[in-house]
Amino acid sequence: MVRRDLPSLFSAEIEANPFLHSLHKEIDRVFDRFRDPEATSASDLAGKRVLPALDIAETDDAIEITAELPGVAVEDLDVSITDGVLTLKGEKSVSREEKEKDYHLVERQYGAFRRSVPLGFTPDEGKVETRFSDGVLKLKIAKPDTPETKTQKIAIDKA
């Protein structure tokens, strides 16, 4: 939802000053990204992207993720972990049709989605439990016994 058409009290001053105009556009972009952090352009925001809602919880031995995916079939869903990043991607395709005596209603929703979640570790093979039911995907990703933690100390030179 981009609100570029709302009037501003200072619109004449903003348009006249290139710095203020640039600042105003950048502030709009910041608020747009806040509303949709995965959007990369105004066309993404205007195109009603399909983004699944995620609940993420961490326990001592696992990360549990619940993704709401209404209208997504299990065969249209792809879940992978690459370099410690969980990626959910798929395609939503829902259509509904009602025919009554005095009206005919057809609704369709289509859209692809992709959500990535950094885990901070790569789980051991076979240590991810999944359950998909009624449009809800639940993942339980077991933490490895010896997590890979690579810390590089950076020396700071004095000027």
18-77 per-position pLDDT tens digit: 766 677 677 777 776 666 555 544 444 444 455 788 999 998 899 999 999 887 888 889
Q: Are strands 128-133 and 104-118 parallel, antiparallel or unpaired?
A: unpaired
Beta strands in the chain (DSSP E): 53-58, 62-68, 77-82, 85-99, 104-118, 128-133, 136-142
**Which residues on adjacent β-strands are paired with residue 91?**
112
Whole-prediction pTM: 0.56
Place of tokens 């600042």: 23
CA–CA gap between residue 119 and residue 67 (Å, rounded): 15
Per-residue pLDDT tens for 62-97? Answer: 999 999 988 788 888 999 998 888 999 988 776 778
The token duo for 109 is 């929703």
